[in-house]
Amino acid sequence: MNILCVGGGPGGLFSAIAARLADPRHRVTVVERRPDAGTYGWGIAVSRAGDPRDDLLAGVRATDPSTARALEDCALPWSGQHVSLGDAPPVHLGGSGYCIGRQRLIDVLVDRARATGVDVRFGAEVADLGRAAAEHDLVVLADGAGSRLRRSWAGRFRTVERAGRNVHVWLNCPTALADFTYAFEPTPAGWIWFYGYPYAPDASTVIVECSPETWAGLGFDAMEDAATMASLSRRFARHLDGRPLQSRPDERGRSPWAHFPMITNERWYAGNVVLVGDCAHTAHFSIGSGTKLALQDAAALGRAVASRAPDELPPALQCYQDRRLPVVRALQRDAEQSAGWFEHVERRARLDPVAFGYSLRTRKMAPADENQEFRGSSLEYGLHRATQWRVGRAARRTLAATRRAALRG
């Protein structure tokens, strides 16, 4: 088949790799509108919680061990998280995972795609979906959350788009934070916070978030990028070793603040056009799963189309949708819960810091009634309290490792 992948993000590139590995007779092209080495964002974090078979690297390994090895080489592990609520001593949370620089991830995928015979073109944009569909046997639409092409066919995919309430900005800090850190700071206009983690020996991702009221109250709606970075760097200085925050300002010189787009599609294909990754669905960044989902979609699509001929596509694409949609929907529900937790920080910040940390850790299980604070079983909360001591943390790590080993076995 003659396959066009629109978008050179993780979803488009890994779809191309998976298609070529499934059948080297496919002619596959990836078209990316940005220049080479010009991706957006900084590092991404992946959690090892849950079923190890559901892990990002495990999924990649099952399709292409060579890509998995290259990604393993640049993944930076993290173990444990801590939460600072104002001036209170940090509260420890469990968890472990790894981080990867987004540009490194893209570079690995581009090299591998080219090595498998994919034609990867940067600086080229697909502008007309109907024309692309007519000229190719299969179009993989992997052009991200803001996909203009998907919007042009929104009725066929039955797309629903909604913007999250909070505003956030994805930043870089030229220092490696010691831990995966959540830092919540009070201001006269309300709470502002960041999630940060190191993704390279000398760099960390820092995602700053707050309510729109706090954002406007602090004057960020009218501030140039340089002033915004100076203000945020000062505010979070004690968590960042005093290092400056850096952004990629837009063409008007403004920081790239955004509302997170929540996207669902009832149908993931129309004719010979199929959706992959953020174009098909988004999952709020606070659960760190969007990249994994994009790579899993790509692997599943590669398996579904394998050696099919163009006239065998409809059942293959239906099979891909049937496999992926329910899994993704379940994760999107978790992501919505998590995003919702961060929309009510003002109320939760009245808890004592240990209870606040627990509420943050268990946010995906938050009750539907937002006035009722989730407490979990007393055993779980007791474990969380014990984690505040070194010996409790060691016990928790052992317990988590045993659980993971049992799941793997």
Ligand X SMILES: Cc1cc2nc3c(=O)[nH]c(=O)nc-3n(C[C@H](O)[C@H](O)[C@H](O)COP(=O)(O)OP(=O)(O)OC[C@H]3O[C@@H](n4cnc5c(N)ncnc54)[C@H](O)[C@@H]3O)c2cc1C
Residue 302 binding ligand X, by CB under 6 A: no
Residue 245 binding ligand X, by CB under 6 A: no
Give the nearer residue to ligand X in terms of CB position, either 195 or 356.
195
Binding mask 306-345 for ligand X (x = CB under 6 A): ----------------------------------------
Report the residue from 1, 3, 5, 6 that binds ligand X according to the rule CB under 6 A: 6
Give the nearer residue to ligand X in terms of CB position, either 258 or 319.
258
Spell out the SS3 assignment of the chain: CEEEEECCCHHHHHHHHHHHHHCCCCEEEEEECCCCCCCCCCEEEEECCCCHHHCHHHHHHHHCHHHHHHHHHHCEEEEEEEEEECCCCCEEEEEEEEEEEHHHHHHHHHHHHHHCCCEEEECCCCCCHHHHHHHCCEEEECCCCCCHHHHHCHHHHCEEEEECCCEEEEEEECCCCCCEEEEEEEECCEEEEEEEEEEECCEEEEEEEECHHHHHHCCHHHCCHHHHHHHHHHHCHHHCCCCCCECCCCCCCCCCCECCEEEEECCCEECCEEECHHHCCCCCHHHCCHHHHHHHHHHHHHHHHCCCCHHHHHHHHHHHHHHHHHHHHHHHHHHHHHHHHHCCHHHHCCCCHHHHHHHHHCHHHCCCCCCCCCCCCHHHHHHHHHCCCHHHHHHHHHHHHHHHHHHHC
Report the residue from 3, 9, 342, 384 that binds ligand X according to the rule CB under 6 A: 9
Residue 207 binding ligand X, by CB under 6 A: yes
Total number of residues that touch ligand X (CB under 6 A): 34
Please report, as a single letter, which amino acid is at residue 284.
Answer: H
Give the nearer residue to ligand X in terms of CB position, either 32 or 225.
32
Give the nearer residue to ligand X in terms of CB position, either 41 or 353.
41
Closest separation in Å from C-beta 379 to ligand X: 30
Give the nearer residue to ligand X in terms of CB position, either 28 or 279.
279
Quote the distance between the C-alpha of residue 131 and its chain's center: 31
Report the residue from 48, 278, 296, 359 that binds ligand X according to the rule CB under 6 A: 278
Closest separation in Å from C-beta 127 to ligand X: 6
> Scanning residues 105 to 164, which ones bind ligand X (CB under 6 A)?
125-126, 142-144, 149
First to last CA, the chain: 39
Report the residue from 4, 19, 31, 317 that binds ligand X according to the rule CB under 6 A: 31
- Scanning 9-17, 112-120, 183-191, 223-231 for contacts with ligand X by CB under 6 A, the matching segment is 9-17
Residue 33 binding ligand X, by CB under 6 A: yes
Give the nearer residue to ligand X in terms of CB position, either 137 or 278.
278
Give the nearer residue to ligand X in terms of CB position, either 101 or 290.
290
Residue 64 binding ligand X, by CB under 6 A: no
Contact indicator for 344, 371 with CB cutoff of 8 Å: no
Residue 311 structure tokens: 């006239």
Closest separation in Å from C-beta 28 to ligand X: 15
Give the nearer residue to ligand X in terms of CB position, either 12 or 90.
12
Give the nearer residue to ligand X in terms of CB position, either 291 or 337.
291
Residue 198 binding ligand X, by CB under 6 A: no
Contact residues toward ligand X (CB under 6 A) are 6-12, 31-34, 41, 44-46, 125-126, 142-144, 149, 168, 170, 207, 277-279, 285, 288-292, 294
